[in-house]
Amino acid sequence: MTPVAENAAALLGTQIRQARRAKRWTAAELADRAGVSRTTVLNAEAGSAAVSLGNALNIAALAGVALFGIDDPVELARARRRGEEQLALLPSKVYKLKSGNDDDGDFDF
What would you measure as the largest C-alpha separation in the chain, in angstroms? 64
Residue 100 lies in a domain: no
Residue 104 lies in a domain: no
- Give the model confidence (pLDDT) of 16-55 as tens digits: 999 999 999 999 999 999 999 999 999 999 999 999 999 9
- Give the model confidence (pLDDT) of 78-105 as tens digits: 999 999 999 999 998 988 888 765 566 6
State the chain's mean pLDDT as an integer: 93
What is the number of domains present in the chain?
Answer: 1
| pLDDT computed for residue 97 by the predictor | 84
Structural domain boundaries, residue 70: 3-88
Q: What's at 41, amino acid-wise? A: V
Residue 102 lies in a domain: no
Residue 109 lies in a domain: no
| This model's pTM is above 0.75 | yes
Residue 55 lies in a domain: yes
In the chain, pLDDT over 90 holds for what percent of residues? Answer: 83
